[in-house]
Chains A and B, each alone.
Chain A
Amino acid sequence: MTTSSTPDHNGLLRFTTAGSVDDGKSTLIGRLLYDSKSIFEDQLEAVESASSQKGIDGTDLSLLTDGLRAEREQGITIDVAYRYFATPKRKFIIADTPGHIQYTRNMVTGASTADLAIILIDARHGLLEQTHRHSFIASLLGLRHVVVCVNKMDLVGYSEDRFNEIVQAYKNFSSRLDITDIKFIPISALHGDNVVDRSDNTPWYGGGTLLHHLETVHVGADRNLQDCRFPVQYVIRPQTDAHRDFRGYAGRIASGVFKPGDKVVALPSGLESTVDQILVGDTSLDKAFPPLSVTMTLTDDIDLSRGDMLVRANNQPESTQSLDARICWLSEAPLNPATRYVLRHTTRDVQAKITEVVYRIDINTLHRIEDDLKVGVNDMARVRIKTASPLLIDGYRDNRSTGSFILVDPSTHLTVAAGVVG
């Protein structure tokens, strides 16, 4: 690593790479790792020897992330690979996601925790169905920052016209999406143009390099510090001699800022109390905010357990048994309106039925499909859901934690859908 032991002042950035098969995602990540000197000698040797075994001239940097045997054999990415690198400015977690349509669920996995998505487009081919699908998923999952890298510029003679054409096509498409910050960068992942170092081959491009953008993009404002939500994850009652009466509520702050002395309301009971202490281990904090994991004690003994939520009296989530949501279907088994799914929302599980499929979404045109409402694997749809007991929800736009859920099929235990409220 080129970095000292305390690499960050811009903290942590989680990003995902998306795009169609062969657009160059794995090569780009290899390039970022290589040029930021985050690849170790033995890894490079292993990749070089694997490259020459496959009869490739030079080093195939995609072999750095395609770590499964089946992936190397087929030359494709099947599942998300996570990679880590740091520069003196920031620490990065990359989710390298697959481009094939049948592995969309793995792409969704990688994107759900990301702050930013890099969408690659092959300059020769322009926008493909997967470009649309992945951009739509990024928008659905509330990623506010997208960097469109027009890749393989070396294969179109670094043509400014071609770059502009693709930028225009993407802008036309994305105007109907919900992404606030989109950047366009002409690159060659293979040769390194505009990835870490500015390229002499694109004198017409006035913007910064990809790495510069990743190091400086501001994502702190994406966190919700307004609406106090603390889903109780686990109750700590030591029942040891030293801590006979201790009762702490462990969990991760979903949003907002909590302080000792704050008046809080426990939901769904509606009982009121006051925050006494906020602890991490045996250290008391004077305030707690996302994404900290803490243990709170209250001044009163109230009934509170996993799945309940602490909030402020004047700012409460909606309590409801019917949800309007958008879902991405992840399972080979199609949506079945007769099945009682388990819906997991924050730390709460409830039974749920999908009472209505309002429409499916045509990924290419973003049009609604209202005549064929069968929802199968990789479909996106707007649905109505009824739950057996109330959920405490916020819109996903305002709150990624309290606005998201998954559906689990109780007979297979598989996660069959990802959903966002609103």
Chain B
Amino acid sequence: MSDSSYNLDHLTELEAESIYVLREVAAQFDRPAILFSGGKDSIVVTHLAAKAFAPGRIPMPLVHIDTGHNFPETLEFRDNLVERLGARLIVGSVQETIDSGKVKEETGANASRNRLQTTTLIDAIEAHQFDACIGGARRDEEKARAKERFFSHRDDFSQWDPKNQRPELWNLFNGMHAPGEHFRVFPLNNWTELDVWNYILRENIALPSLYFAHDRVCIRRAGQILAHSDFLTLRPEETPETMHVRFRTLGDLTITGAFESDADTLEKIIDEVAATRITERGGRMDDKRSESAMEDRKKEGYF
């Protein structure tokens, strides 16, 4: 039988794979959670989870690690989504981690809370005894992420050992682990940035307004455009100005680069993404710190 009505387009095939992964987490783990960053990838993961368990509710909480430097739009969007889905939300606060004296805030004009998130995340994992944390990371994002399994083992200290990963055969995922260990799970592993955008369009998934071109007061720094906010320490040569911009990823306000764009609809964004010659994370200061910046952060337990 090679009837063409049995051919699936690749988005449907990716969706089927992701739904399978999410259900496997629900079946294999006692205390799973979805790490919800507020960005488009975690919004897509949440959408897929809603589909995977429909008409039931998503059987795991959404966990948001709040740097305290969020765009207000992100928080508003998060709260609306949680309410609409009847999901449970758990917030881990980087500010509280700082106040407890566990970590020190970086200082200076390059200061960012990006790295501090890891401590807050690991604290939340321990406090709630999560045994599986589902993330929206994709293998096409970055070269260390290209090595990820679907079920990625983390030891008692949340560390990743990339040189010694478990084999992962077919779709027989092995989530067995000792107490204290956990897994990071990546349902979107095989999606590309363009796949995510096309899927958002196909499924008509709502997104925070930040992804669409809008007027915003920004500054230029080291070849990047950053949103001006109270969290940013201005350097003498920097002057805020209004630009027509949008964001390609949403992270901590102080490091997420915006770029000038007229794409104010999903269709225009897809055309722009398809034509662009720079990777998504190319706009992030945190990855530029060194060749192995992502690998090093991931080993410590970063998203």
Among A180-188, A197-205, A220-228, which stretch is in contact with chain B? A220-228
Q: How many residues of B contact A (CB 8 A)?
A: 66
0 or 1 for each of B44-68: is its CB under 8 Å from A? (1 = yes): 0000001111111100000000000
Among B19-27, B75-83, B211-219, B238-246, which stretch is in contact with chain A? B19-27
B171 contacts the other chain (CB 8 A): yes
The answer to whether A291 touches B295 (Cβ under 8 A) is no
The answer to whether A236 touches B167 (Cβ under 8 A) is no
B261 contacts the other chain (CB 8 A): no
Q: Complex: how many Å from CA A408 to CA B288?
A: 39
A240 contacts the other chain (CB 8 A): yes
A131 contacts the other chain (CB 8 A): no
Taking A5-B198, A240-B57 as contacts, is the C-beta distance between A347 and B162 under 8 angstroms? no
Residues of A within 8 A of B162 (CB): 68, 78-79
Tell which of A86, A93, A108, A293 touches B20, judged by Cβ atoms closer than 8 Å.
A293
Interface residues of B in 95-131 (CB under 8 A from A): none
The answer to whether A242 touches B6 (Cβ under 8 A) is no
| Sampled A-B contacts (27; CB under 8 Å) | A5-B194, A5-B270, A5-B271, A11-B9, A41-B277, A41-B278, A65-B146, A68-B144, A69-B291, A78-B162, A79-B163, A84-B192, A105-B167, A109-B168, A220-B6, A234-B26, A236-B55, A238-B55, A240-B57, A243-B55, A252-B20, A257-B6, A292-B16, A293-B20, A345-B172, A408-B176, A415-B167
B222 contacts the other chain (CB 8 A): no
The answer to whether A81 touches B169 (Cβ under 8 A) is no
Q: Complex: how many Å from CA A238 to CA B276?
A: 43
How many A residues are at the interface, by size bracket?
35 or more
List 6 A-B pairs, minimum CB-CB distance, nearest first: A67-B143, A238-B56, A281-B51, A293-B19, A413-B176, A42-B282
B233 contacts the other chain (CB 8 A): no
0 or 1 for each of A76-100: is its CB under 8 Å from B? (1 = yes): 0011111110100001010000000
Residue in B closest to A282 when the chains form the complex, CB atoms: B54
Residues of B within 8 A of A42 (CB): 278-279, 282
Residues of B within 8 A of A418 (CB): 167, 169
The answer to whether A113 touches B170 (Cβ under 8 A) is yes
Q: Complex: how many Å from CA A233 to CA B271?
A: 38
- A-side residues, CB < 8 A to B, are 1, 3-8, 11-12, 40-43, 46, 50, 64-65, 67-70, 72, 78-84, 86, 91, 93, 105-106, 108-109, 112-113, 218, 220-221, 223, 225-226, 233-234, 236-240, 242-243, 246, 248, 250-252, 257, 279-282, 289, 291-293, 295, 306, 330, 342, 344-345, 347, 400-401, 404-406, 408, 410, 413-415, 418
If A1-B274, A293-B52, A406-B172 are given as contacts, then 9 extra A-B residue pairs at C-beta distance below 8 Å, sorted by A number, are A3-B194, A65-B143, A109-B149, A248-B55, A342-B176, A400-B170, A408-B176, A413-B178, A418-B167
The answer to whether A79 touches B295 (Cβ under 8 A) is no
Q: Complex: how many Å from CA A408 to CA B27?
A: 17
The answer to whether B54 touches A281 (Cβ under 8 A) is yes
Across chains A and B, the number of contacting residue pairs, with CB separation under 8 Å, is 193
The answer to whether A291 touches B17 (Cβ under 8 A) is yes
Give the residue among B170, B198, B278, B295 with the most A Cβ atoms within 10 A: B170
Tell which of A226, A293, A400, A413 touches B16, judged by Cβ atoms closer than 8 Å.
A293
Taking A67-B295, A237-B56, A292-B16 as contacts, is the C-beta distance between A413 and B27 under 8 angstroms? no
0 or 1 for each of B216-245: is its CB under 8 Å from A? (1 = yes): 000000000000000000000000000000
Taking A5-B270, A67-B295, A418-B167 as contacts, is the C-beta distance between A413 and B54 under 8 angstroms? no
0 or 1 for each of B1-26: is its CB under 8 Å from A? (1 = yes): 11000111110111111011001101
The answer to whether B279 touches A43 (Cβ under 8 A) is yes
0 or 1 for each of B269-296: is its CB under 8 Å from A? (1 = yes): 0110010111100100000000110010
Residues of A within 8 A of B192 (CB): 84, 86
The answer to whether B170 touches A413 (Cβ under 8 A) is no
The answer to whether A3 touches B57 (Cβ under 8 A) is no
Residues of B within 8 A of A84 (CB): 139-140, 190, 192
